[in-house]
Amino acid sequence: MYLVFARKYRPHTFDDVIGQQHVARTLKNAVRQGRVAHAYLFCGSRGVGKTSMARILAAALNCEDGPTETPCGRCDHCRRIAVGDDLDVMEIDGASNRGIDEVRELRQNAKISPAHSRFKIYYIDEVHMLTSQAFNALLKTLEEPPPHVKFIFSTTDPQQLPDTVKSRCQRFDFRRISDAEIIKHLQQICSKEELATEKGALEAIARAARGGMRDALGALDQVRAFSDSEVKLDQVLTVLGAARTRTLTDMVAALAGSKTGNALKMAHNVLLSGIDLLDFIDQLSEYLRDVLVAKYCRTDDELLAGAIADADTLRRQSELFTPEQLLYMLQILREARLRARRDTTGKLAFELAIIKLSRLDDLVHIQQTLDADTAGEPVENNNYSTEDRGRKTEAKPTQAAQKGETKEGGNGKDRIKNMVRRLQDRSKGNAGPQTPPATASHPGPAADIPDDVPEGISPEKFRQIQDAAGGAEIAGEIEKNTPLLEAFIRADEQFDLRPVKLQKSQETKQDNTDQGSESGS
């Protein structure tokens, strides 16, 4: 009978378990020193070796040469445990045996001595599926089991287990297996199976497995049935339902070049080819993650071991973006995935994300926006630090530069007049270009400020004028501008705005004058 790779190459010793050395070492030492606990809890995601480790521990305890840290694998006990057919090693599915009646039966059977082994071992898979009543019925037996009984629990969701159960077990957390370790193990299997592999094929399988060795072996088994004697990258992507590497690189290049139409067409063609929308968003996110990592790490770093694209491509495309842009793109894609998952029109959410990602040139740093607003200048996007955007080498001159002024240019009076003019334009809803500053030949509207509140400015806007006069230099210019100063004083009388800083400035000036008079007298 044909055995799939996941069963054919299941580990039979502690050292054979991939990526869980911390668990294997602890259990080996416990068996060798005779310090095996009565209950263990194995936690971890699917396909990382929980069931295999439980069987190996059971074989180590019941092997004819044992207890031993290296079970022989040849005796009757080891062979039966390896296939899950031993009377004294009972594997129980927690999802289908989750009630209190099953636990009562387990408690009664636990009192009976093993049939032909040293220990009677209960292995309950997905133990978090048991009901609260079943857990409560198990607590006493779990805390003080008979000397011949050992419990091994495994779960993918330890948060659902009661604390009373977790406190009675020794817990081991199984880690996700790295892409590099998965690739190495797949290469060994391909060598034993005499399978030729194309560059990038095993990397694609490892990336799709997401840290689960069983998923990787299942995908390799499926690709072998699809391609007979050779594992090719295109065949792997077809079996996995993944996008081609060229599609991802072209998509990122289109986004970098602000080619929105091309990016939308590529996304449309990908979805028409049968690739799931959420899977494609994940693949694009993972590719951008590789581009971001390539910006900081060497191309041969272990973090890029499972990357689909080659190192040169990742390095080249990492130069098209700044780190901030890549972080923004990843954030947009994750938000689009959440919306696409909840919404019936998921494609629309993805297309909106593509449009945002292709308009990175429109993004402006917030500090640049604040500086431009303070100076009354139009905001310019000077974020052209990459090679693809090198075409825009000459930044457009700002409005102040065209007038021969700098950001700090012009005296305080001109800045006050410009401030008042902007407030007037906003209060009137005028979104047009700002009028040039007042000069001797072209006096501006701020030159004829009336004694009362300036014309066209509401009291709320006038409060903004007062707040803007907080600077010492501007306050001093207001003092020199008699009409504007009188307007502030009248506003204080009418609206009780209390321009404290101006009053303090006047009082200080008056005190200095009085002191000068006294010293003179």
- Three-state DSSP at 15 gives helix
Kindly state the tokens that stand for 50. Answer: 């929980």
The dihedral sign for the CA sequence 8, 9, 11, 17: negative
Determine the Cα–Cα distance for residues 78 and 68; give it in Å rounded to an integer: 12
Query: How high is the mean pLDDT in each 10-residue block of the chain (521 residues)?
Result: 89 92 95 94 94 94 90 91 90 91 93 92 94 93 94 94 94 93 93 89 89 93 85 87 88 92 92 88 91 84 78 88 91 91 83 91 69 59 46 40 43 60 58 44 42 52 55 57 67 52 51 56 48
Instruction: State the pLDDT at residue 274.
Output: 84
Q: What is the dihedral of CA 473, 477, 480, 482, to 10 degrees?
A: -140
Determine the Cα–Cα distance for residues 240 and 513; give it in Å rounded to an integer: 87
Asked if residue 246 lies in contact with residue 239, where contact means CB atoms within 8 angstroms, the answer is no
Q: What is the dihedral of CA 471, 474, 476, 481, to 10 degrees?
A: -150
C-alpha separations of 186 from 155, 156, 219 in Å: 26, 24, 11
- CA angle 395/397/400 to nearest 5° reads 150
- CA angle 325/295/277 to nearest 5° reads 55
Residue position matching structure tokens 């007298």: 521
Determine the Cα–Cα distance for residues 333 and 341; give it in Å rounded to an integer: 12
Instruction: State the pLDDT at residue 262.
Output: 92
CATH class of 179-240: mainly alpha
What DSSP string describes 233-296? HHHHHHHHT---HHHHHHHHHHHHTT-HHHHHHHHHHHHHTT--HHHHHHHHHHHHHHHHHHHH
CA neighbours within 13 Å on the CB side: how many for 426? 13
Instruction: State the pLDDT at residue 121.
Output: 95
- pLDDT tens by residue, 354-395: 999 998 877 766 666 666 656 555 555 555 444 444 443 333
Prior bond of 67 cis (ω within 30°): yes
The residues near 102 (Cβ < 8 Å, ≥ 6 apart) are 92, 134
Same fold for the pair 179-240 and 245-361: no
Instruction: State the pLDDT at residue 52.
Output: 94
Instruction: State the pLDDT at residue 520.
Output: 53
What DSSP string describes 281-338? HHHHHHHHHHHHHHHHS-TT-GGGTT-SS-HHHHHHHHTTS-HHHHHHHHHHHHHHHH
Q: Ramachandran region of residue 229, left (φ > 0), alpha (ψ -120 to 50) or beta?
A: alpha
Determine the Cα–Cα distance for residues 358 and 251; give it in Å rounded to an integer: 10
- CA angle 354/293/346 to nearest 5° reads 25
Instruction: State the pLDDT at residue 512.
Output: 57
- Of the candidates 321, 324, 284, 289, which has an alpha carbon nearest to the alpha carbon of residue 303? 289
Q: Where are the domains of the chain?
A: 5-173, 179-240, 245-361, 416-431+443-520
CA neighbours within 13 Å on the CB side: how many for 100? 5
Tell me the fold of 245-361. Zinc Finger, Delta Prime; domain 3 (1.20.272)
* Residue 214 φ then ψ, to 5°: -65, -40
- pLDDT tens by residue, 232-274: 888 888 888 888 888 999 999 999 999 999 999 999 998 888 8
Asked if residue 505 lies in contact with residue 475, where contact means CB atoms within 8 angstroms, the answer is yes
**Buried b / exposed e along 205-221 (16+ C-beta atoms within 10 A):** bbbbbbbbbbbbbbbbb
- Of the candidates 206, 265, 268, 267, which has an alpha carbon nearest to the alpha carbon of residue 240? 206
The dihedral sign for the CA sequence 184, 185, 189, 195: negative
Tell me the fold of 5-173. Rossmann fold (3.40.50)
Q: Give the number of other CB atoms < 10 A from CB of residue 282.
A: 17
- Three-state DSSP at 431 gives coil
Q: Give the number of other CB atoms < 10 A from CB of residue 331.
A: 11
